[in-house]
């Protein structure tokens, strides 16, 4: 006995049920789903360091400074992040503020590390201006959607005790009021050891760089984990 021939209405119902499956089969596959390398690149986030000679490897071999060491740790522990070092020897907070807008557009960072201010103090510049510049940089970073880490510095009292005290407080004051993370003192743990500095007494030697990296990493890692 031959099986019954499906009626037109039954065939129509079967066709309608099959349409979603056929549509799904014909949907184009995104390029990033087919290429794992492209998917990784698409998900990559940038940590941007804007600093001065302390971040620009002044007087030491390339690749031995705390910023490249930080980049290596990022690659190892947070491979979805990569680091861009936009530090320039001799830069001040004023110079950093002038450079920042173009950097934010170019790199679209998720996190910005601001390591500036030491040269302001060494030149005896107005600390009110230093604070205003740091505050403006922090706000611009946040407006661009980036989290901010401010790296604090200190200077010896021979620059004037009152000036040194005011300078030291600039960084935590800005970080607190602008809701930024803070490294209290970049040179913590090495500042009192003369052997860990170059002949100028200002720039740490290569062997001191891992300690600087750890000082920054402690404050940076929570920003990497934030949603």
Hey, which residues are catalytic here?
53, 200, 203
CB atoms within 10 A of CB 202: 15
**DSSP character string of 49-65:** EEE-TTTTTTTS-TT-S
Task: Show the CA angle centred on residue 61, arms to residues 60 and 63, nearest 5°.
Answer: 115
Question: How do the residues of the chain divide into helix, strand and coil, expressed in percent and rounded to 5?
Answer: 55, 10, 35
CB atoms within 10 A of CB 70: 23
**DSSP character string of 62-120:** TT-SHHHHHHHHHHHH-TTEEEEE---TT--HHHHHHHHHHHHHHH--SEEEEE--HHH
Closest by CA to 188, choosing from 149, 223, 154, 150, is 154
User: Quick check: 215 and 183 in contact, CB under 8 A?
Assistant: yes
- Angle, nearest 10°, between helix axes 127-143 and 93-107? 10
**Alpha-carbon torsion 163, 167, 172, 177, what sign?**
positive
In a 3-state reduction of DSSP, which class is residue 220?
A: helix
């Amino acid at each position: 006995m031959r099986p019954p021939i499906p009626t037109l209405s039954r065939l129509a119902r079967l066709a309608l049920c099959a349409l979603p499956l056929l549509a799904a089969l014909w949907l184009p596959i995104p390029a990033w789903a087919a290429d794992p390398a492209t998917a990784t690149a698409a998900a990559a986030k940038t940590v941007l360091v804007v600093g001065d000679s302390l971040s620009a490897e002044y007087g030491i071999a390339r690749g031995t400074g705390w910023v490249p060491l930080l980049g290596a740790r990022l690659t190892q522990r947070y491979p979805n992040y990569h680091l861009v070092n936009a530090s320039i020897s001799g830069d001040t907070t004023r110079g950093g503020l002038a450079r920042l807008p173009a950097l934010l557009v170019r790199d679209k960072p998720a996190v910005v590390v601001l390591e500036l201010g030491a040269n302001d103090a060494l030149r005896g510049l107005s600390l009110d201006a230093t604070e205003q510049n740091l505050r403006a940089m922090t706000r611009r970073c946040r407006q661009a959607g980036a989290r901010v880490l401010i790296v604090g510095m200190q200077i010896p009292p021979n620059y004037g005790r009152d000036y040194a005290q005011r300078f030291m407080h600039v960084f935590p004051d800005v970080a607190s009021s602008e809701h930024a993370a803070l490294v209290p003192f970049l040179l913590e743990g090495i500042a009192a050891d003369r052997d860990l500095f170059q002949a100028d007494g200002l720039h740490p030697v290569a062997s001191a760089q891992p300690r600087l990296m750890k000082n920054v990493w402690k404050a940076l890692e929570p920003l990497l984990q934030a949603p």
